A and B are shown apart, each in its own frame.
Chain A
Amino acid sequence: MKVLVNTIVNGAPVQEAVTPRSSLADFLRDDLGLTGTHLGCEMGACGACLVLLDGAPVHACLVLAVQAEGGRIETIEGLTETGAVADLQESFHDRNALQCGYCTSGMLMSAQALLARNAAPSRDEIRDALSGNYCRCTGYEAIVDAIAATGRARAVTAAPANTEAAE
C-alpha cells in the first residue's frame, strides 16, 4: 500500500506515492533522483543525509517520507541552484575542506544552519556545531576554517545593510 505525499522539494511542489516505511532519504534519492543526499549510517549518527525541512536540518534517514507531508524540503541540489550556499561552497573549495565528498552535503547543511543562528561563531562553536557530522578524510580543521571564513565574509557583506536599517 502506497500513500500520497505532498511536499515542496527545492521550491517545486512534488506529489508522489510512497510506501509508508520509506525514509525521506530513500524518497529523495530513489524516487526523486536527488542523490546529493547521502546515507552513511541510517541511524542518525553520521550526518551525511542532513537536509533542511522547513528550514531546520534533519536526518533524512530518520524522517519518514510521509512525515514530510506539507513540508518544505531543501537538499544540496536546491541550495546550489538558488545560490544560498554559494559562498560556503567557494570557501570549502578554497580551503580544500572536502576530500571524498561523501560528508560534504551534510557539512554544508550544518554550516548553513549554524551561520543562520550565529553569524560569527568561534572555532570552538563551529567544532561543536559539527558534532553530528562525521568526516573521515579531512581531520575537520579545513572545514572549520572554511565555515569561519564564510561567517566573516557574510558579516562584512551584511554590515552595510544593518547600518542602513538602523538609520
Chain B
Amino acid sequence: MTLHIGQPQRRENARRHLAGRGRFVSDLALPRMLHAVFVRSPMAKGRILGIDIEAASLCPGVVRIFTAADLNPRCQPWVGTLDHFAGMQSPPMNILAEESVLWTGHPVAMILARSRAEAEDAADRVLVDIEDAEPVTGGVPVLQPGAARANDAADSNLCYEALLQTPDVDRAFAGAAHVVEAGFTFGRHTAVTLEPRAVVADYDPSSGALTVHQGTQTPYQFQDVYARHFGLPEGKVRVIAPDVGGSFGMKLHVYNEEMGAVAASLILGRPVRYVADRLESFVSDIHARDHDVYGRMAVAADGTILAMEIDDLTRIGAVSAYPRTSAAEGNQVIRLMGAPYRMADYRGKLSVAFQNKVQTSQYRAVGHPIACAVTEALVERAAEATGCDSFEIRARNLIADDAYPHVSATGYQFEKLSHQACLARLRGMMDPGALRAEQAALRARGIYRGFGIASFVEITNPGATFYGVGGARISAQDGAVVRMLPSGDIHCAISVTEQGQGTETIIAQVVADQLGVVPERVSVTTGDTATTPSGGATWACRGAGIGGETALRAGRQLRDRILTLAGALVQTDPATLRLAGGAVVDAATGAPRIALEEIGRIATYRPDTLPDGIDHSLTVAHHFAPGGYPFDFTNGIQGSLVEVDVETGLVTLLKHWVVEDCGRIINPLLVDEQIRGGVVQGLGPAFFEECQYDADGQLTNGSLADYLVPMAVEMPDIKIAHIETPTQDTILGAKGVGEAGTAAAGAAAMNAVNDALRPFGACLTQTPMTPLRILDALDAARQERTAP
C-alpha cells in the first residue's frame, strides 16, 4: 500500500523552526556550563617555542587554560587513514598543537571561562612564541623528492596515490581519430553552514556518564569515537544531535575543538560549550575540492568515446581527516570519470598531497562535481572535434537504458539507470533549437548567451565496502524501533538523522503506509544515541534509501504482529486481514474488524484477556544493511543557460534545468527542494566560492564579508523533471537525492559559459569562474588570435 509514499507531505518539524522554536546546540545552556575559546596559530607552519598563559589566567571569569601538555594526554591521538587505501600515510593528530603548528588556525591553547566574551578577552592575553617555517602551500613541486615537508611527522608530502587502468587504454588512444585534452583547476571551498559547529560536552563525574550535545549528522560515530579516544565505556557515552543548522557533510568529521570540549569536560567535571564563530569556521571546518586535473579523451571519427585518461592532484591539509580520510574525494574523482558513458577504456591516476592549510574532506557530492565537470567539458570538446552537437554526442555515447546491468570502465556496477530517457526529457524542456536561434539573434546585438548540459551519476546508499572494509568504525547499516502506543498511534525511533532534509517526514510516510495510518499519527525520533538504535545515520544520501527501507521493514514486522494479535481477538485467520484507515480490516472487502486503539488497549491494559502464549509486544526492532550492489547510483542530467557580459566578465544565470532519477520518490515536495538546494551548492563554487590563500598559507578571505556564497538575487529559477527507476535491491526502491543537484550543476554551468564565449575562442577550465578569470580567458584568446 502506498497511500502516502509519493505524496508532497509537509514537514511537521518545520513548524517549530517557523515559530523560532528550533532546538539548536548553539541555543543550549546548562547549569555549571563553561565557555571554550581556542588560541590559534597565526602561522601556517612553525615550531612552538613557548606559551605564556600567566596574564591570561588572571583575567576575569577564566576558570582554566589548557595547553597540549595538560589536555592531550586525556585523549588517544587519531589517525586519518583507511586500510583499503593501500600505502596511505597520515601522522597522528591530537587536540592542541604539541611541537609544531601545521596550518593557520591550528589550536594551540584552550581557555575555559564563565562566558565566551571573557574567554575571548583572555585569549588575547595568551602569548605564543612560534618560530615560523616556510609553509607548503603549492602544487606539483611538493611531490618532488627532497621537497620541504608540510608535516615533519610524515616521510613525504605524498599522503596517498592510486592508479586505475584497463589493459587496452593505450591502444584506444593510439587508434583514436581525435584526442581532446585540457587541464582543470577546482578551487578550494567550504560548507558555510549557517549555524557554525557547536558542541556542549557534559561529563558527570558522579555517574561517569558523558553526554555530548553536538550539531552533527552522525551521533553514533561520535559515540564510538568519544568512547574509544577517551577510554570510556560506550554505554556511558550519549551523543545528542538536536536541530542542526546545516551540515552538508562538514559536521561528520572529527575536529580538534569538539575533542577539546569533551576532554575539558572530563577533566573539569562541568559542561563545556564550544560554538565556532564564523572566523573560526573558515579556519577549522573542513574545506573541500582543491584539485588540479589533467584529462584526455580518445574519440572515434563518428563521435564514439573510446577512452579517458586522468591525472588528479589534490592538496589536502597537513594531516588526513578522521575517520573518513581526506583521500576519499580523490578516490571518487578518478572512479566517477566518464561514468555515464559506454566508454570501454580508462586510466586514472590520483595523488593526494599534504600542505599547510585547513584539512579537506567530504562535503556534499564528494568528488562528483570534479569528475562531472572534467568529463562533460571533454565531451563538449569531443563534440566540437567530430561535428556533433551537445545532445547528439551524448545520445551516441550514454549507456542505453536497456543495456543494464553495466560495469563502468572504472569498475562501478550500475543496476539500472535512465540516461537516455533523461537526455530526451531535458531536450524537450530546454528546446535547444530555440535557444540556438535566440543565441544567434542576440550575438548580432553583442549579447553573449550560452547553454551547457552535463550528464551525471551519483553514488548513494553505500554498503560496508565503502568504509567498513577499510577498518573504519562507520556503520553501513541502520536501525529502527517501531512501536504502537496504547492509543494506536505509532512511534518510530530511527538511526538516520534530520538536518532539515525532511528525514523524519519521509520516515513517517513510509511507516504510515505499512501500518495503515496517516503520517500525522506517526511520530519519529532521531538524533539521540540513548533513544534510537545504532546506525550509519545521514550521509551519502542514505536517509531515504537505507533509512526508508529500515523503517519499511520494521513497519511490516509490526504490521504482522498486530495482525496476529487481531486474528486472535476477532478469531479470524490473520492472512485474511490487513491494516487500513487506522484499523484492522477484512483484506478482501475492506470492512473494519477492529480498531488499532482497541488492540492497543487490550495488549497494554488487559493482556490477561488474550489467549495464553500469544505475543502481545507491540514494539519491533529491525536493522537493515544494504545488500546486492555495493552501492546504488542515481543518474540524471542538468542544463544551464547563462549570459556573459564580455566587458565586465559578469555572468547572469538565466535558467537551470534538472532531470533526475532518484528511484522511488517518497515525497516530491522534499525531493525537488533537495535538488534545488543542491544545484545552488554546485553553482556557488562554480562562480563565487573559493578559500583564497596567499603564499604564506594565510586564508585571505575567511569571513562572510569576503567569502562569497550564492545569494537569492544571483540564483536562477530551477526547472525539475523526474524519471523514476526504483532499485530492485530494496522493497522501497528509493535511491536518495541529496547530492544530485550539486554533482552536475557546476559542470553544466561551465559548459554554458564556454558556449557563450565560443565566438571569442575563450574557454574556462578553472572554478570559480570569476569575472577576472573570464576576462583573463578572453584576453588570452585575443592574444592567441593576434599572435603571428
Interface set of A (CB-CB < 8 Å, partner B): 19, 21, 29-30, 34-43, 45-46, 48, 75-77, 80, 89, 92-94, 96, 98-105, 108, 123-124, 126-128, 130-131, 133-144
Contacts and interface: CB of A to CB of B under 8 A. Distances in A.
21 contacts: A35-B24, A38-B22, A38-B195, A40-B194, A42-B278, A43-B704, A43-B705, A45-B705, A46-B194, A89-B15, A93-B11, A96-B11, A96-B669, A98-B500, A100-B499, A100-B500, A102-B195, A102-B246, A128-B713, A138-B676, A140-B680
Contacts of A103: 194
Contact of B711 (A29, A105, A108, A134): A134
A143 B712 contact: yes
B715 interface: yes
Contacts of A104: 17-18, 22
A98 B18 contact: yes
B639 to A, nearest CB: 16
Given A100-B499, A127-B715, A139-B679, 17 more contacts: A34-B20, A36-B19, A36-B21, A36-B22, A80-B20, A89-B15, A99-B499, A100-B194, A100-B500, A101-B22, A102-B193, A123-B717, A136-B194, A137-B246, A139-B677, A139-B678, A139-B680
B752 interface: no
B245 A101 contact: yes
Contacts of A105: 20
B508 to A, nearest CB: 15
Contacts of A94: 10
B104 interface: no
B702 to A, nearest CB: 12
Contacts of B22: 35-36, 38, 101-102, 104
A53 to B, nearest CB: 17
B122 to A, nearest CB: 15
B709 A99 contact: no
Interface string B257-281: 0000000000000000000011000
Contacts of B681: 136, 139
B612 interface: no
Interface in B448-500: 499-500
B55 interface: no
Nearest to B244: A100
B662 to A, nearest CB: 16
A45 B317 CA distance: 28
Interface string B220-248: 00000000000000000000000111111
Nearest to A142: B673
Contacts of A36: 19-22
B26 interface: yes
Contact of B709 (A89, A136, A142): A136
Given A38-B195, A134-B194, A139 B14 contact: no
A136 B248 contact: yes
B402 interface: no
A133 B117 contact: no
A93 B713 contact: no
B673 A100 contact: no
Contact of A141 (B194, B196, B717): B717
A118 B6 CA distance: 37
A139 B673 contact: yes
A158 B244 CA distance: 38
Contacts of A21: 117
Given A136-B681, A141-B718, A37 B20 contact: yes
* Residue of B18, B243, B277, B502 most packed against chain A (CB within 10 A): B18
Contacts of A92: 14, 18
Contacts of B193: 100, 102, 136
Q: Which 5 A-B pairs have the closest CB atoms?
A: A36-B20, A101-B17, A99-B500, A76-B20, A102-B245
B529 interface: no
B750 interface: no
A21 to B, nearest CB: 7
Q: Chain B contact residues (Cβ within 8 angstroms of A): what range?
A: 35 or more
Q: Is the interface of A mostly helix, strand, loop or mixed?
A: loop
Given A42-B277, A100-B195, A100-B500, A131 B680 contact: no
Contacts of B244: 100
Contacts of A35: 20, 22, 24, 27
Interface string B703-738: 111000101110101100000000000000000000
A144 B741 CA distance: 19
Contact of B19 (A76, A100, A127, A142): A76
Interface of B: 10-11, 14-22, 24, 26-27, 29, 117, 191-196, 243-248, 277-278, 499-502, 669-670, 673, 676-681, 703-705, 709, 711-713, 715, 717-718, 741
A80 to B, nearest CB: 5
B677 A137 contact: yes
A100 B18 contact: no
Contact of B246 (A76, A89, A93, A136): A136
B245 A38 contact: yes
A141 B715 contact: yes
Given A35-B27, A93-B15, A102 B194 contact: yes
Contacts of B501: 99
Given A45-B704, A139-B676, A139-B679, A100 B712 contact: no
B715 A139 contact: yes
A130 to B, nearest CB: 4
A60 B677 CA distance: 27
Contacts of A39: 26
A77 B17 CA distance: 11
Given A38-B245, A43-B705, A99 B677 contact: yes
A26 to B, nearest CB: 8
Contact of A98 (B17, B21, B678): B17
A48 B704 CA distance: 12
B704 A46 contact: yes
Contacts of B195: 38, 40, 100, 102
A101 B10 contact: no
Contacts of B194: 38, 40, 46, 48, 100, 102-103, 134-136
Contact of B703 (A43, A101, A102): A43
Nearest to A99: B500
Nearest to A79: B20
B18 A89 contact: yes
A54 B375 CA distance: 55
Nearest to B498: A100
A80 B19 contact: yes
Contacts of B26: 38-39
Contacts of B500: 98-101, 137
Nearest to A75: B20
Contacts of A76: 19-20
A93 B502 CA distance: 12
Given A42-B278, A96-B11, A131-B713, A138 B20 contact: no
Contacts of B247: 100
A105 B670 CA distance: 20
A134 B704 contact: yes
A144 B711 CA distance: 12
A84 to B, nearest CB: 12
A86 B355 CA distance: 51
Contacts of B18: 80, 89, 92-93, 98, 101, 104, 108
A127 B713 contact: yes
* Residue of A43, A100, A138, A139 most packed against chain B (CB within 10 A): A139
Contacts of A48: 194
A138 B499 CA distance: 12
A140 B712 contact: yes
A138 B712 CA distance: 10
A132 B670 CA distance: 25
Contacts of A131: 711-713
A84 B552 CA distance: 40
